[in-house]
Structure 1
Amino acid sequence: MLRTLFLALVLITTSAVAAKKEKDGSHVQPDNYYPRVKMETSAGDVIVELYRRRAPITVNNFLRYVDAGSYNNTVFHRIVPGYIVQGGGYDVEYGEKPEYDPIFNESGSGMKNKMYTISMARQNNPHSATRQWFFNMNDNSNLDPGRDWGYSVFGMIVEGEAVIEKMMEVELDYQPAIGEVNSPKEPIILKKVTVLPPV
């Protein structure tokens, strides 16, 4: 009886651990420290290499949204020329997309917010990042950690830099649905994000 109960508990615990692992994105190419994703946008395609070795929590979090198809048909809702291009949070009607729990801020990994890197967006709380991210379109040292927490870098554009550069040239306008003053007048859509086969 006790042995049966013990085995049942082991199975339940193992199942719970497996479910948690699956949910956190670590199941996506688990042995690949540098997975790549392809972003198909209405402005062209971009390929991003992710730095799982340096920012595992952040990369796994990003990949679980990718794996669920949750970034498909979202918009780049905020563009600040010469600074950032931000997306990941809103559908094409500017409705908020569902979020997983916030993640730990890995800005202390040693990676800097350099040109063409991708980083997690967050609120004032340093550990409030969920699903939104941004491309650095300059060497934004003000976003690196110092006396305070910074913004966690977790990858780099390796193909398609010109696509993001082109986004910075679009006409911007106020988007009342989200209260954003630097939103593209004509929406730029992130049509699909897929994980590429390991190289």
Structure 2
Amino acid sequence: MKTPLLTCLLALGFHVATNAQQTKAPETLRPGLAPAPTTSPAPAPATTPAPSTAEIDKLAEEAQKALFQSVDKGTSGATKGTSQNYNSNTPMRLPAQRAEDPSLWAKDSVHKIALMEVAFGGARETVMIELFPNDAPQTVNNFIDKCDSGFYNGLAFHRAIEGFLVQTGDPLTSDESARTKWGTGGEEKTVPAEIKLRHRVGAVAMARRSDKVNPERRSNGSQFYITLGNYGAIDGKYTVFGQVVSGLETIKRISIMPVDANDCPVARIEIKSMKVINQKGPMQLPSMASGDGLRYIKPDAARGFVSRWFHHIW
């Protein structure tokens, strides 16, 4: 017969064993394996409708505007002549000789200037490009024809690579739903190669297909790009026909915008208008200096009658 003490010990042992099974430690998990939930699953969140295309575009534009503003604040105190936008992961290349100062052009000289109005971040800015008809006559004539016909109006920048280049001029970029094809348009017409000028920061050149399918290096009929550096691999292989003389900082800001896997800016950056004027004599002195991207006062030929009148009496 069991003694009361033995009976108590057996009862105590049974109680401890039962509790040990109830409080058993979880198994060691293999990498990547999540533990089983120990509580009841939370109720599924209420389903919300997917945002519309208009809402997505608005959010992208707001984000783009905020980024532009932050870039302006971050570079406003930068030392003049220094660049903040080159990619440190790519080899640096010293810039070529700077372009001729437009404020020093001879009084009797005539220069062809392309005025490109660009819309981004809720604002518009002007980029001025000097064209070189003596060095690339067929290319410049084709470009002027495109500008005069309004071909570039409404097209978007479809390529932006920091410290390298930005590219536009593809007619397919007028259609947002055709984004997957952006960069492949404008091949209906090509222009003979006029490879004479070298690239430098702010150089404007025509895009083209590769040597494998285009051994003559003929230029695309409409797509062009603007270089910002690291152009050793393309120098002497593409037709350079112009040079940015004002608004280079605008081009630099475009180059650092968020892009997708194809280097296409996520938020739309659009050419609102493009026209070519004749600038007689030197351009007026810079109204604002921003690093190496001097912004010149618009030449009279680019102003309306009222604007010219106010400008001269002010």
- Same fold flag (TM > 0.5): yes
1:106 paired with 2:194, answer yes
Match of 1:133 in 2: 224
Q: Structure 2 residue aligned with 1:77, among 139, 153, 158?
A: 158
SS at match of 1:198: strand
Question: How many residues are aligned here?
Answer: 156
Note closer, same or farther for the CA distance 1:132–1:196 as it changes in structure 2 (3 Å cut).
same
Kindly state the Cα deviation for residue 169 of structure 1 after the two structures are TM-superposed: 1.9
**Inter-partner Cα distance in structure 2 for 1:34 and 1:57:** 17
**Inter-partner Cα distance in structure 1 for 2:229 and 2:186:** 30
Once the two structures are superposed, what CA deviation does each residue of 1:160-198 show, in whole Å capped at 9, x if it has no partner?
Answer: 011001101211114xxxxxx100010100111011243
Note closer, same or farther for the CA distance 1:182–1:191 as it changes in structure 2 (3 Å cut).
same
Runs of 4+ in structure 1 over 6 Å off: none
Match of 2:208 in 1: 122
SS at match of 1:65: helix
Match of 1:53 in 2: 134
Kindly state the Cα deviation for residue 92 of structure 1 after the two structures are TM-superposed: 3.2
**Inter-partner Cα distance in structure 2 for 1:132 and 1:189:** 14
Asked if 1 retains the 8 angstrom alpha-carbon contact of 2:219 and 2:238, the reply is no
Q: Which structure dedicates a bigger proportion of its chain to helix?
A: 2
Match of 1:35 in 2: 112
Match of 1:11 in 2: none
Unaligned runs of 5+ in 2: 1-108, 281-314
**Inter-partner Cα distance in structure 2 for 1:123 and 1:171:** 26
**Inter-partner Cα distance in structure 1 for 2:186 and 2:252:** 28
Q: Which structure dedicates a bigger proportion of its chain to strand?
A: 1
Q: TM-score, normalised by structure 2?
A: 0.47
**Inter-partner Cα distance in structure 2 for 1:128 and 1:54:** 15
Kindly state the Cα deviation for residue 101 of structure 1 after the two structures are TM-superposed: 2.2
Match of 1:91 in 2: 173
Q: Write the letter of the residue equivalent to 1:106.
A: E
**Inter-partner Cα distance in structure 2 for 1:104 and 1:81:** 29
Asked if 2 retains the 8 angstrom alpha-carbon contact of 1:92 and 1:189, the reply is no
1:164 paired with 2:164, answer no
> What is the identity percentage for the equivalent residue pairs of Structure 1 and Structure 2?
28
Match of 1:10 in 2: none
